[in-house]
Structure 1
Amino acid sequence: MMSRNLTEFQRNVIVILRNNGKSWTEIAREMREKYSKTVTKRGMQYLWKKYLNTGSVRDKIRKGRPTIVSPQASRAITRICKANRLLSVLNITHTYNTSAVQNVSVSTVQKILKKYGFRSYSAMKKPYLKLHQRLRRLSWATTYSAWGADKWGDVVFSDECIFQSYSSSNKLLIRRTSLEKNNAAFIQPVMRHGPHIHVWGCFNSNGVGLLKRINGNMNAEKYQKDILHDIDIVGKCLVFPKAAFVFQHDLAPPHKAKSTQAYLKNKNIEILPWPGNSPDLNPIENIWGILKRKVRPIQHKSAEELWNEVQSKWYKLSRNLCQKIVFSMPTRLELVKKSKGHPIKY
């Protein structure tokens, strides 16, 4: 319409001239001479009518093309999505159109799902838990939910981890053009048998303990001889000036071996019972994740070079970080109870 091409000032001039009793022919002549040659009588009459109805010469805010899909149809599409979260947008569209009165396009379905917050994400990978494992996690969380931050601060958490250079599991984001895809400067080198190390570490709310390198395969005898031989001293150092600590390790075969249990009993070390297949409950897993992000993924030519950097980054982890992670234990237990034993976000 003509009025869309007029400024707000020009529209006000038309209203003022009309209020002063001038005819549309006179107003059109004056507007064409002074302001715009595109002014028409019909356009000014539409503008005057809008002014009389709304008291304003401004256009209404336009929200774009109205949707042809009703709210009921939108809810039906979201129900299909909720019933099977693995369906693609194409399959959701096909399922809806098979029983709908009015067919919708894939792009329309995609917009509806986006509007209701259903976007496509990569599924989180968590260990598979059988029913009896979930029940044990739930029972464990209930048993230790009475522990506060101070009690969890007495626990020395431990675990093993593998660090590897030239790993394809480390995503390297590079900004480039489509033509630079095969440029050597923008390629992530991957070695099938790149330098890697196997380590064991422990920590608690006061900071990190010793980090030990494991050579070869781990068994019960090696675990006791190379890892646990000084765990009583290491644990006491971590909870100093307290004299007692609680030691945590998972249910790996070397850990739950009878000889290992007897070895720790002889050292008078209290063991924290642990539910199986529960890395999300062990705060040291968060420490490993942080450490892996700090260690450069590519720039190691040998296992010794990788070991040196892992050690360097390990002993620089702050006490505040360790404390924050350990003190998340009460929250983890509450989440386990809320999820009825299923994996949690940690």
Structure 2
Amino acid sequence: MGKTADLTVVQKTIIDTLHKEGKTHTFIAKEAGCSQSAASKHVYRKLSGRKRSTTNRENCSLERLVKQNRFKNLGELHKEWTEAGVKTSRATTHRRVKEFGYSCRISLVKPLLNHRRRQRRLTWAKEKKKWTVAQWSKVHFSDESKFCISFGNQGPRVWRKGGEAHSPSCLKSSVKFPQSVMIWVAMSSAAQDLAPAHTAKRTKSWLNDNGVGVFDWPANSPDMKPIENLWGIVKRKMRNKIPKNADELKATVKETWASIPPQQCHRLITSMPRQIEAVIKANQYSNLLR
């Protein structure tokens, strides 16, 4: 059944009907009783010889809707597009958005930054632009984060193209609030450590007493720290965990943290040059929008 020619009239009818309803090719193939390849070939053969249901002008109007607000969901985009007079299906709306190069992704959260902090962040990034992976491997990163008994969803989704993760129009702002169960961690290129947050001050005192230099870091810029990625990994691993109390929660965090291999820490450290470059590009992108 791998060839379109092998499909029966009934199978072709089923494929055409389900495709118009916006069903996935996997679902269509299963319902039609053929391979996914055969179903896809039949769909694309018909599309290639068929006039597109939307004009270039209409497509441009849809792309403008996406750019105006990257956080609109597909239903909102389809509603606004059809209200503008475009007669098309929700499935076609989705296809057009994908044709523009956009994918629906979970948005990164940007720190709340004023102009002075943005400039300090950019200056810092430029100062570290030529740092090598070997230099970053000598840095120990530390941070603290809150863990709650109930973990919410992953955050709003955003339409963005490749390389736009740090673009201002694709970010959500965040403000720090009082935290509940706090955990303090540290990581380097080869190892990591975890402890209750109340020991953080003691750790800072030890560093000062033993002459260990403290890295100058721009204010409200946790997104540039590789340790933030570790927090994300831990919280994703804990997504299906349901601790009953704070003690169980702490134990779960420690167990999950211990499961992260040292190689993961090294890979995150090696990403620092790319993070620095992303900050510089994001600032250039922001200037173009002014």
TM-score, length of structure 1 as denominator length: 0.52
**Residue 196 of structure 2 is aligned with which of 193, 202, 213?**
213
- Is 1:329 the counterpart of 2:290? The answer is no
1:167 counterpart residue number: 151
1:92 counterpart residue number: 81
Unaligned 5+ runs, structure 1: 1-60, 98-103, 172-195, 216-221, 233-263
Q: Is the CA contact 1:135–1:341 (under 8 Å) kept in the aligned structure 2? A: no
Deviations for 1:278-323, whole angstroms, at most 9, x for unmatched residues? 1111111111111222336543233222222322332342221111
CA distance, structure 1, for counterparts of residue 217 and residue 182 of structure 2:
22
CA distance, structure 2, for counterparts of residue 280 and residue 308 of structure 1:
26
Q: Is the CA contact 1:166–1:298 (under 8 Å) kept in the aligned structure 2? A: no
Q: How does 1:25-40 map to 2 (within 5 A)?
A: none
Unaligned 5+ runs, structure 2: 1-44, 156-179
Q: How does 1:231-310 map to 2 (within 5 A)?
A: 232=207, 264=208, 266-295=209-238, 297-310=240-253
CA distance, structure 1, for counterparts of residue 106 and residue 252 of structure 2:
31
Task: Compute the displacement of 1:170 (Å).
Answer: 6.8
Structure exhibiting the larger radius of gyration computed from Cα positions: 1
**Residue 51 of structure 2 is aligned with which of 66, 81, 86?**
66
CA distance, structure 2, for counterparts of residue 199 and residue 322 of structure 1:
18
1:147 counterpart residue number: 131
CA distance, structure 1, for counterparts of residue 270 and residue 59 of structure 2:
44
SS at match of 1:161: strand
2:260 counterpart residue number: 317
Task: Compute the displacement of 1:342 (Å).
Answer: 7.9
One-letter identity of the residue aligned with 2:255: S
Deviations for 1:150-201, whole angstroms, at most 9, x for unmatched residues? 1111111000012222334479xxxxxxxxxxxxxxxxxxxxxxxx631111
Q: Is the CA contact 1:291–1:313 (under 8 Å) kept in the aligned structure 2? A: yes
Matched length: 211
2:177 counterpart residue number: none
2:201 counterpart residue number: 224
2:60 counterpart residue number: 75
One-letter identity of the residue aligned with 2:181: I
1:235 counterpart residue number: none
CA distance, structure 2, for counterparts of residue 223 and residue 68 of structure 1:
61
CA distance, structure 2, for counterparts of residue 151 and residue 198 of structure 1:
30
Is the alpha carbon distance of 1:214 and 1:123 closer, same or farther for their aligned partners in structure 2, counting shifts above 3 Å? closer
One-letter identity of the residue aligned with 2:81: I
